[in-house]
Chain A
Amino acid sequence: MANLMEQQKAARLNSSLRHEPDGRGHFGGRYGGRFVAETLVPLILELETAYAQAKADPAFQRELDYYLKDYVGRPSPLWLARRMTEKLGGAKIYLKREELNHTGSHKLNNVMGQILLARRMGRTRIVAETGAGQHGVATATVCALFGLKCVVYMGATDVERQKPNVFRMRLLGAEVVPVTAGAGTLKDAMNEAMRDWVANVADTYMLIGTVAGPAPYPAMVRDFQSVIGTEVKAQMQEAEGRLPDVVVAAIGGGSNAMGIFHPFLDDQSVRLIGVEAAGHGLDSGKTAASIERGRPGVLHGNRTYLLQSADGQIEEAHSISAGLDYPGVGPEHAWLNDIGRAEYVGATDEEALEAFQFCTELEGIIPALESAHAVAHAMKLAPTLPTDSLMVINLSGRGDKDIFTVAEHLGVQL
């Protein structure tokens, strides 16, 4: 009897695309996994158990809800972008305002969840990797809130192009360590954070900022970010009485996209579009479009699409946006791509810069350059859609951190 119920439950779960990875941490039997050195395997298994317990504990959820509401500032609004809609003359466009969260991006949703977990696990030292610095700032913020030691690894190139965030992290009491290996971007920062964790296993919690890394990170970060899509669903129901037709989000590692996609995976009428950074162009060789221009391989603990050479060496990504400048992507996206449930497209540096200004001028909202990639694709797609169709763009972060980069590209001296 119990067995039959188990089987029925399994069948129900199987018919849903919203599921946990298998026992090996794989999505679709292939992507994800636990590709880490033996030293770290026992730690990620311990983390997996601790997260499973926390997830099943209503007290943990209550605690998280409290912080999400009163500290992060959730729910974030769903804004009808009237002028953008008019200008583009097609789909009705809504912006999910993740840039209004405390610290200015969606990153805090995940960080809030993981820091509460780290505390439950008794860890006192937090290490994180960061690209744009948004994840680093979010992590430094909660470490200040709870009085924990915080070390953030950041590529030296990114330290240079994201100076305001470096200063913010230092004000918040974090130690920011510039990483000079490789091109000095997010991939190198991730390597260095993993090296730190391996060397400090006793007291350290590694707080990964996107839906990548060894299991359980991809599913755990997705769970914490899914609050975005869950809210959108309810808000759209209230505003329009139905589901959206298209959801568009930028893809770095893929956390803001997975967060807004996941609650819609079983709603087949909803088109899910992930926008990768095409950099100088998808075929320029200077791109960060791992799904469109990469092939499956293993890096940073998981199997997924990677930009790599014929010999399996990982290539440097290129994007104007530090937060998208990563040669991989979360493994659940790799799977959603292969089964065709989500579409993955590219937007170039130039298109993102144009979208940055478009959104700023028409809506009075300065988007992060990362989010501007999503806006850029919406600008292409919306005019081709009927006026009664509904589009949501995940505005994953605010662009204050990017004004120096943008000014430079516009030839303005600040």
Chain B
Amino acid sequence: MSRIAKRFSDLAAEGRGALIPYLEAYDPDRETSLALLRAMPAAGADLIEVGIPFSDPSADGPVIQAAALRGLKAGATLAGVLGMVSAFREGDAHTPVILMGYVNPVESYGYERFCKDAVAAGVDGVVLVDLPPEEADVIEAPAKAAGLDIIRLVAPTTTPERLGYVLSHASGFVYYVSIAGITGTRTASAGDLRAAIPRVRAATSLPVAVGFGVRTPEQAAQAASIADGAVVASVLIETLAGTLDAQGHATDATLPTVLEQIGALATAVRAAGRQAA
């Protein structure tokens, strides 16, 4: 069983959903983001998403755009991001790590080489925002051979006819983009999620995580209880950015402040348990 499948099945046995915090690699520098990555499981992260900085993040709002720019300025490369995950794996064999990013750095690195190196580094899955299933043949075979999950996005605009097609290309879990929009802007209501998640569930046996617009502990608890997990990104990056000094460097407050927020999110997610389907 993969780390992703095992983690979701263990959490299901515990009767709760997953908290999936996001960090942008190399934001604001390699050392700080690696320290954050290493500390996240103890703070309550069940799975972790690591953003691969890209120059043109066209599906992201201003907060993640700025994080990507800071990461690139700090020297992030795809090889460097994989190196970070390797370093994390030295101390953590169980927490699933999912890379999230855009396709061009991966295409430039080479799909086959990427899949092999990612798995060797300890990466469990990858979300490539701008690589829909229509274009995914370039990565599907090497990913399968290497044992890397390709996590698929499903959006509110995904039509019922299309849903089955998208899900037939998914592995690991399904990432439900809860709003039609970019990251860090709007938030879906609990009612929206209660209407949408059962439709996705009906079409797949994979776990379903909700992302885009999940900000508060209450929202995270709600999303993780209606679905199988909640991805929290922009709000954590906002918090991180708020602790940087005038030159954009990390301060003593950076790690504790972000980790405390992850702790609060985790507490809420754990307390909420699971809604009966």
Q: Which one of A297, A300, A311 has the greatest number of beta carbons of chain B within 10 Å?
A: A311
A131 to chain B, nearest CB (A): 15
A73 interface residue, CB < 8 Å from B?
A: no
Q: Are B104 and A297 in contact (CB under 8 A)?
A: yes
Which 10 residue pairs of A and B lie closest in terms of their CB atoms, listed nearest first?
A312-B108, A312-B105, A199-B181, A39-B155, A38-B153, A313-B55, A191-B58, A37-B59, A311-B77, A314-B55
Q: Are A35 and B130 in contact (CB under 8 A)?
A: yes
Q: Are B56 and A314 in contact (CB under 8 A)?
A: yes
For residues 154 through 205 of chain A, which have their beta carbon under 8 Å from a beta carbon of chain B? 181-182, 187, 190-191, 194-195, 198-199, 201-202
Residues from chain B with a CB closer than 8 A to the CB of A190 are 58
Expressed in whole angstroms, the Cα–Cα distance for A37 and B58 within the complex equals 9
Expressed in whole angstroms, the Cα–Cα distance for A375 and B58 within the complex equals 35
Residues from chain B with a CB closer than 8 A to the CB of A35 are 103, 130-132, 135
For residues 115 through 153 of chain B, which have their beta carbon under 8 Å from a beta carbon of chain A? 129-132, 134-135, 152-153
Q: Which one of A195, A202, A303 has the greatest number of beta carbons of chain B within 10 Å?
A: A195
Q: Which of A36, A202, A311, A312 contacts B132 (CB 8 A)?
A: A36
Which residues of A does B touch, CB under 8 Å? 24, 33-43, 181-182, 187, 190-191, 194-195, 198-199, 201-202, 297-301, 303, 306, 308, 310-315
Residues from chain B with a CB closer than 8 A to the CB of A38 are 132, 152-155, 157-158, 166, 177
Which residues of B does A touch, CB under 8 Å? 54-61, 65, 72, 77-79, 102-109, 129-132, 134-135, 152-159, 162, 166, 177, 180-182, 185-186
Q: Are B180 and A201 in contact (CB under 8 A)?
A: yes
Residues from chain A with a CB closer than 8 A to the CB of B65 are 181
Q: Are A24 and B134 in contact (CB under 8 A)?
A: yes
Task: Give the residue name and chain of the B residue nearest to A37 (CB).
Answer: B59
Q: Are B135 and A33 in contact (CB under 8 A)?
A: yes
Residues from chain B with a CB closer than 8 A to the CB of A312 are 78, 104-109
- Beyond A38-B155, A38-B177, A198-B180, whether A310 also contacts B108 by CB under 8 A is yes
Q: Are B134 and A301 in contact (CB under 8 A)?
A: no
Residues from chain B with a CB closer than 8 A to the CB of A301 are 130
Q: Which of B56, B77, B154 contacts A191 (CB 8 A)?
A: B56
Q: Are B135 and A311 in contact (CB under 8 A)?
A: no
Q: Are A41 and B108 in contact (CB under 8 A)?
A: no
Q: Which of A34, A194, A201 contacts B157 (CB 8 A)?
A: A201
Residues from chain A with a CB closer than 8 A to the CB of B180 are 39, 198-199, 201-202
Residues from chain B with a CB closer than 8 A to the CB of A199 are 180-182, 185-186
- Beyond A199-B185, A313-B105, A314-B104, whether A42 also contacts B58 by CB under 8 A is no
Q: Are B153 and A37 in contact (CB under 8 A)?
A: yes
Expressed in whole angstroms, the Cα–Cα distance for A301 and B129 within the complex equals 11
**A–B Cβ pairs within 8 angstroms, 9 of them:** A38-B132, A42-B159, A43-B157, A198-B59, A198-B182, A199-B181, A308-B108, A313-B54, A313-B55
Q: Which of B58, B107, B135 contacts A297 (CB 8 A)?
A: B107
Expressed in whole angstroms, the Cα–Cα distance for A299 and B104 within the complex equals 7
Expressed in whole angstroms, the Cα–Cα distance for A182 and B105 within the complex equals 17
